[in-house]
């Protein structure tokens, strides 16, 4: 690691940010279920965490690229997210909760793309070391998903919002200690953002990322509910989430060596195909514990290797003054549009088609992503060294 890299300060933010995700993704749906919302309402409310990522990151990224104040924006957004979240303790019906979660998501979604751009700027040419910082986010996720899962076997589901509140406090505090990074402007070689977006390989990458996020809709919205309905305990569900993320950490540690031998485009294409198989196993073999465990092991590829390769490709395409907006666009299109589509179709299909066919739809999205990326995103850059 470069001697000037603020490794632990960046790692601390990732720890709390993804610890927040570790409380929300597995358990917020259960909390909403306890408020007696139906599957479609749960899908809509969970989608709000993604809907605002369509618009908000682009707004914040545009401001950050023009002001150079990435970390200041992260600090402001984290504080407003915390203050807004307090409203969930009073908003227990659909529309009030819809409003509160919309506001939380608008500000919360500002943070990650700006911190990603800041981290990559601190790393400079050593972007292959990104995974060693990002793995602390996975550690935070594991700590919360196991701890909260075990607690919920004995405590009320009403514990969830209190845990989330505490994690938001952690995000606010760690955002205060992240140092700004010098932004490499490269004004003489600046390429207009529109020109970058017209490149076939960039369009294919962003579309594949959208479809991959959509493929994860049933997983992030209903996986815990699916496990509980299949007869597993909440604590065991937490351990299964954690198993996937442990594998993710291992992948992050070895990705620098992988990228030294295998192109990022090839890695990404492989992860799309693996995702298609994984979601079929989750949907149709949830009662087969060995296969279910194997499916969770595949999270190492469908999240860890996928995210590392996608981020590397985005960072390579969006350079100079486009860095923050490039990360924002990736987050908006993939996790914003794709995540919203994923949550909504999962909510609409769950009661009518059932869990197995809903996860089959997820597999179909991953297959489509692989075809598009193989056609334009992968082949278009095959000649690059």
Let me know: does 306 contact 258? Beta carbons within 8 Å.
no
**The tokens of 51 are what?**
């809907």
Superfamily per CATH, domain 7-381? MFS general substrate transporter like domains (1.20.1250.20)
Distance of CA 201 to the CA centre of its chain: 22
Model pLDDT, residue 180: 87
Model pLDDT, residue 332: 83
Model pLDDT, residue 342: 94
Of the candidates 327, 24, 12, the residue with the CA atom closest to the CA atom of residue 172: 12
Let me know: does 382 contact 241? Beta carbons within 8 Å.
no
pTM of the model: 0.76
**The tokens of 235 are what?**
């604590």
pLDDT by 10s per residue, the chain, length 385:
555 778 899 999 999 999 999 999 889 999 999 999 998 999 899 888 888 878 887 788 778 877 878 899 999 999 999 999 999 999 989 999 999 999 998 898 888 888 988 888 888 767 667 778 888 998 999 999 999 989 998 899 999 999 999 999 999 999 999 998 776 555 445 677 788 888 889 999 999 999 999 999 999 989 999 999 999 999 999 999 999 888 888 888 888 889 889 999 999 999 999 999 999 999 999 999 999 999 999 999 998 899 889 988 887 888 776 766 787 788 788 888 999 999 999 999 998 999 999 999 999 999 999 999 998 876 444 334 3
* Cα–Cα distances in angstroms (integers) from residue 296 to residues 242, 287, 354, in the given order: 9, 14, 21
Distance of CA 246 to the CA centre of its chain: 16
Residue 337 neighbours by CB under 8 Å, 6+ apart: 50, 54, 210, 213
Distance CA 37, CA 292 (A): 28
Domain ranges (residues) in the chain: 7-381
Model pLDDT, residue 362: 98
Residue entry with tokens 């198993």: 243
Model pLDDT, residue 384: 41
């Amino acid at each position: 690691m470069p001697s000037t890299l603020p490794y632990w300060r960046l790692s601390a933010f990732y720890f709390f940010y993804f610890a927040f995700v570790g409380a929300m993704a597995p358990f917020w749906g259960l909390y909403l279920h306890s408020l007696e919302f139906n599957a479609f309402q749960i899908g809509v409310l969970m989608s709000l965490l993604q809907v605002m990522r369509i618009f908000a990151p682009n707004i914040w990224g545009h401001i950050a690229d023009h002001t150079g104040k990435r970390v200041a924006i992260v600090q402001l957004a984290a504080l407003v997210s915390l203050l807004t979240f307090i409203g969930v303790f009073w908003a227990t019906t659909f529309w009030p909760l819809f409003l509160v979660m919309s506001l939380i998501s608008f500000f919360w979604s500002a943070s990650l793309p700006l911190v990603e751009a800041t981290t990559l700027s601190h790393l400079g040419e050593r972007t292959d070391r990104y995974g060693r910082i990002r793995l602390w986010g996975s550690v935070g996720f594991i700590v919360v998903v196991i701890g909260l899962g075990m607690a919920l076997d004995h405590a009320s589901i009403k514990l969830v919002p209190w845990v989330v509140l505490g994690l938001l406090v952690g995000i606010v505090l760690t955002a205060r200690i992240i140092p700004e990074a010098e932004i490499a402007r490269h004004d003489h070689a600046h390429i207009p953002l529109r020109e970058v977006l017209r490149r076939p390989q960039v369009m294919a990458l962003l579309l594949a990322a959208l479809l991959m996020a959509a493929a994860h809709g049933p997983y992030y919205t209903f996986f815990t509910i699916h496990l509980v309905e299949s007869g597993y305990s909440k604590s065991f569900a937490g351990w299964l989430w954690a198993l996937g993320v442990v594998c993710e950490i291992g992948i992050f540690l070895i990705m620098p060596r992988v990228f030294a031998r295998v192109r990022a485009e090839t890695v990404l294409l492989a992860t799309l195909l693996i995702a298609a198989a994984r979601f079929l196993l989750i949907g149709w073999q949830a009662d087969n514990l060995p296969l279910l465990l194997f499916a969770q092991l595949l999270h190492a590829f469908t999240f860890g290797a996928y995210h590392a390769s996608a981020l590397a490709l985005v960072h390579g395409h969006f350079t100079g003054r486009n860095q923050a907006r490039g990360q924002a666009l990736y987050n908006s299109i993939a996790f914003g549009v794709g995540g919203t589509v994923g949550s909504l179709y999962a909510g609409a299909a769950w009661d009518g088609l059932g869990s197995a066919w809903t996860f089959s739809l997820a597999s179909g999205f991953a297959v489509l992503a692989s075809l598009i990326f193989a056609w334009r995103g992968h082949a278009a850059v095959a000649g690059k060294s």
